Structure 1
């Protein structure tokens, strides 16, 4: 297995694509469909004697263009099979328009979040500047579901559905001993332990940032609850290593997932602190949490605030009047609003 790191100045940067040279030459995630990223991917593949036309399978962790943008182009070059979870499939095969290309969805969402005119104009300008080309060519996809196994010929990838960042985000778990050219984080079986297991986690788990929830895919119902459940699932799977969609390998993915879950508990407390001063919209809470925002973060900031406000409203801690939220319970037990894991219990 080879990691190919890609330049990307649009989103989180330092995208990762992974080449698996099994019986079926496979690429896990691609790149945003811009010339520089395309060149990076071509160069990274060529270092291993692989061209787009040689790829037999493209496995997508989720629909975002910095991961799926070149899937259709690679498929057109060599008839690769493109796998993606059924919830994200319509955004890869063109049956649905992404949020950046859907003015009606934008208006409804911005109204709900209370975005002022200048913020809307900044986002519209950003979407127009980046254009539609970043989403790349539509692909003929093979939808997958949780628990399904993709057979690459000697290597099997198990789809593990981890919604939150997007509706259909999947990790793909595998036995590292079966992957040609890959050194497992730990070697063969240890007495009394399960066999080694690793996973490609896309943006469900990142080493330096907390993946955005709420703004990254506005289709997700109860985004914070969905993502908290996904983090618990990562902890329970207890993989030896995670190979994320951005930056370096994560050697203790369960611990990292527990850290992110705790981060969201802390952020919930900060949201409650903001509302102690009076009712506020998602945009106003975002301003208190993140300050001034630019480009895609003008979407992600209020989306994240909305995810927390929505979570608190559903728990009966807040009530919404129009676009503003006000406290009903000024002193909730925040820990009770989130699931717990074995690592949480061990740290207490």
Structure 2
């Protein structure tokens, strides 16, 4: 397996595509985005391993985001490759108009519910439109949790890992050795904490689903993780626990904002947590805040009235006792 680093000017650092070409099959996991120059980078990196785009037999996509599936359509057009993605993300990758219209309508409803200012709505809508890349979509085959595929010396197993998106998948690698490696995509990143809430507004209680994903990574005790961005993760269990800790700290900060500010909407909480937001972070900031607010409401820690949230009396009392500035999540 070879890791191909492809430029990414917007998100969490270079995109990683993973090439399997040591055998009769030529397989790519994720493709990078469709910004100018990425296709040329991919061609050059494939050539350095003796492979051309037209040689690719199969493409596995970790999820529907444009920086991971961007070149899937052009690759399929050039090579005839089969393209696989989880069934929850398949209609978006296929470019189905109904799926994209539903996503856009849901985003706009959330923007209103969150209290996003009009000028910020316009800005983030333009950003989202510029990275949709809905033209020339691939035909796809839907996959599910537990599906297995043979790729040369590897068997890969699909592990559904929702939270960041509804259909995000890990790919466990089995090469017959004692190593336990996983392609973790955006479920586990080495530097940033993957966005939940804004990254895919279709996900119900995204924080709870993402914590479940992280805990499954802890339970799996992988030796190494190969993420969707940046460098290999040497201790996936430790990294997953760090991100769980991060979300407990953020839950505390969300509750503390409600304690200090009184009842307020999602945008106000986001502003308290993140300050002024630009570009794609106009989506990610309130989305992350909403994920925490929704989860805390599910736990009974806060209540909502219209678009505003407030602490319960019991939560206010408990919050005053939290010297560690963390709020335990229900999945610990």
Which TM-score band (shorter chain)? over 0.9
- Pair 279,223 (structure 1): closer, same or farther in 2 beyond 3 Å: same
Gaps spanning 5+ residues in structure 1: where? 179-187, 189-194, 341-348
Deviation at 1:301, TM superposition (A): 0.3
Check whether the contact 1:6–1:40 (CA below 8 A) recurs between aligned residues. yes
Q: What is the rounded CA distance, in whole Å, between the counterparts of 1:203 and 1:119 in structure 2? A: 25
TM-score, normalised with respect to structure 1: 0.88
Residue of structure 2 equivalent to 1:208 = 191
- Pair 336,316 (structure 1): closer, same or farther in 2 beyond 3 Å: same
Deviation at 1:66, TM superposition (A): 0.3
Residue of structure 1 equivalent to 2:273 = 289
Q: From 331, 339, 347, give the equivalent of 2:331.
A: 339
1:269-290 per-position Cα deviation (integer Å, ceiling 9, x unaligned): 0001100020111111111111
Q: From 285, 291, 305, give the equivalent of 2:289.
A: 305
Aligned length: 322
Check whether the contact 1:19–1:28 (CA below 8 A) recurs between aligned residues. yes
1:61-101 per-position Cα deviation (integer Å, ceiling 9, x unaligned): 11101000111111111111111111111111122567699
The question of 1:223 aligning with 2:206 is answered yes
Q: From 298, 304, 309, give the equivalent of 1:320.
A: 304
Check whether the contact 1:73–1:136 (CA below 8 A) recurs between aligned residues. no
The question of 1:12 aligning with 2:12 is answered yes
Gaps spanning 5+ residues in structure 2: where? none
TM-score, normalised with respect to structure 2: 0.92
1:34-54 per-position Cα deviation (integer Å, ceiling 9, x unaligned): 222111111111111211110
Q: What is the rounded CA distance, in whole Å, between the counterparts of 2:98 and 2:210 in structure 1? A: 23
Q: What is the rounded CA distance, in whole Å, between the counterparts of 1:158 and 1:83 in structure 2? A: 13
Query: SS of the residue aligned with 1:159?
Result: strand
Check whether the contact 2:160–2:167 (CA below 8 A) recurs between aligned residues. yes
The question of 1:38 aligning with 2:30 is answered no
- Pair 23,338 (structure 1): closer, same or farther in 2 beyond 3 Å: farther
Deviation at 1:338, TM superposition (A): 3.2
Q: What is the rounded CA distance, in whole Å, between the counterparts of 1:265 and 1:150 in structure 2? A: 36
- Pair 88,152 (structure 1): closer, same or farther in 2 beyond 3 Å: same
1:206-230 per-position Cα deviation (integer Å, ceiling 9, x unaligned): 0000000000000001100000000
